[in-house]
Amino acid sequence: MHADADVAVIGAGVVGIATAWALARRGQRVLLLERAAGPGLGTSFANGAQLSYAYTDAMASPALWKQLPAMLSGRDAAFRVRPSLAPHFLGWGLAFLRNATTARYRRNTLATLELALESKAAMDALLARHPIDFQHRVAGKLHVYYDADAQPKARTMIEAKRPFGVRQEWLSPEQAIAMEPALVGARGMAGAVYSPDEEAGDPWRFCTGLLEVLQAEYGVQARFGFDLRDARREGAHWRLHDANGDSVSAARLAVCAGIDSHALLRGMGIASPLMAVKGYSFTAPCGANPPAASITDTARKLVFCRLGERIRVAGLADLNHWDPQPDPARLAHLVAMAAESLPDAADYSLIESHWAGLRPVTPQSSPILRLAGDGLALNIGHGMLGWTLAMGSGERVARLLLEPSRPT
């Protein structure tokens, strides 16, 4: 029997769409299966829009030990932790803490950096062939620090990344303001790391734009409203059943279902170390002094990104929060922190849209890209950087599925 497709890709977020591209351009018949009504409506929808190819620093770092009491007690308003005695929470939490050593932080950051640089190369190659309009630009980025101790640690990471060809430099407050005049509003700034090559772009527009190309020019089939409930190997094929009793078959399967991969894979008997870390964003018209570059406020843990005539602000990290519904109090908090950080960046009285999404985070802060069965690949756990890492992850997973004996 012939399968309906060579490869079924589950999930049409940035990771699934990028994976569909990597497979389709290699001549595979791809079937994209998505529960929602369209592409890019999950965690990829209104994220911080950063293509953060240079700043791949892992979440678990030695600084975590100092920050932990404030995070657990709620004194650090950017974080919330919902403690639990569930084995998954405890196991994930311990693994996360084990990664907060100097050596592992460095190793995890550099492993993600390699994938980010592959992603940049893959994105450049895609856009050279198919110029997709997603408000993409080389925006440059400033990570603003308020802690006088930050400089030596930041310089260590700048030096660690230099051999990879990453351009970053430490700027004094005066230099930072000269580079990005909107930072005049950043009161108490101790300095900033400037990454001139960082990019930005709207992830939802990317998903819709690339899907159009895939359908028109590469014969990719997409089925929306397909909520995969059961996947079984039947001979040489995967048989995939959705919630309505519909079913399709494919020779191979790539799971790119974001945070929902955890429950989906559990149903298939596969454990995955994913934790939901909920974040928020809002989009508003530019204010009196909007930044041209992207800006990360490292104290308040939020990012500002210019998308055309609008500013997108994203932040907050609510760990072990699995419900994607926005909490109005947390959203109000994000707006208040942004207005405190850069009062004139956006018109905070005219917020046009707001949103919450669940980051699928691993203890290492790097994604899980591996084979997990006969013709089954996982492309999950992209955490804080899924938009950045999607293109490189798609390439690696396509190679894993099609050339399993070749090292990625």
| Positive or negative: CA dihedral 96, 100, 104, 105 | positive
Residue 197 amino acid letter: D
If one asks whether residue 222 binds ligand FAD (CB under 6 A), the answer comes out as no
If one asks whether residue 264 binds ligand FAD (CB under 6 A), the answer comes out as yes
Cβ-based burial of 76 (10 A; exposed 0-12, middle 13-18, buried ≥19)? middle
Binding segment (CB under 6 A) for ligand FAD, from list 29-37, 181-189, 244-252, 267-275: 29-37
DSSP codes of every residue in 122-144: HHHHHHHHS---S--EE--EEEE
12 touching ligand FAD, by CB under 6 A = yes
CB of 149 to ligand FAD, least distance (A): 26
Q: For residue 94, report the phi and psi dihedrals to the nearest 5 degrees.
A: -65, -40
- Distance CA(345)–CA(74), nearest Å, equals 27
Per CB under 6 A, does 256 bind ligand FAD?
Answer: yes
Nearer to ligand FAD, 36 or 351 (CB): 36
Q: In the set 122, 142, 171, 385, which binds ligand FAD (CB under 6 A)?
A: 385
What are the tokens at 5? 């497709």
What is the closest distance, in whole angstroms, from the C-beta atom of residue 49 to ligand FAD in the complex? 5
For the bound state, the minimum distance from the C-beta of residue 23 to ligand FAD, rounded and expressed in Å, comes to: 15
**Binding of ligand FAD by 281 (CB under 6 A):** yes
| Nearest partner of 379 among 257, 265, 216, judged by Cα | 257
Measured from the CB atom, is 287 or 386 closer to ligand FAD? 386
Q: Would you count residue 386 as binding ligand FAD (CB under 6 A)? A: yes
End-to-end CA, the chain? 31
Which residues lie across from 295 on neighbouring strands? Answer: 142, 304
Do the Cβ atoms of 60 and 363 come closer than 8 Å? yes
* Distance (Å) of CA 303 to CA 194, 208, 230, 280, 281: 14, 24, 38, 11, 9
**Interaction between residue 260 and ligand FAD (CB under 6 A):** yes
Among 28, 47, 362, 364, binds ligand FAD (CB under 6 A): 47
Between 279 and 375, CB nearer to ligand FAD: 279
Q: Any contact of residue 366 with ligand FAD (CB under 6 A)?
A: no
CB of 95: closest distance to ligand FAD in angstroms?
19
Contacts with ligand FAD by CB under 6 A lie at 10-16, 33-36, 41-44, 47-50, 52, 226-228, 256-258, 260, 264, 279-281, 303, 314, 357, 359, 382-388
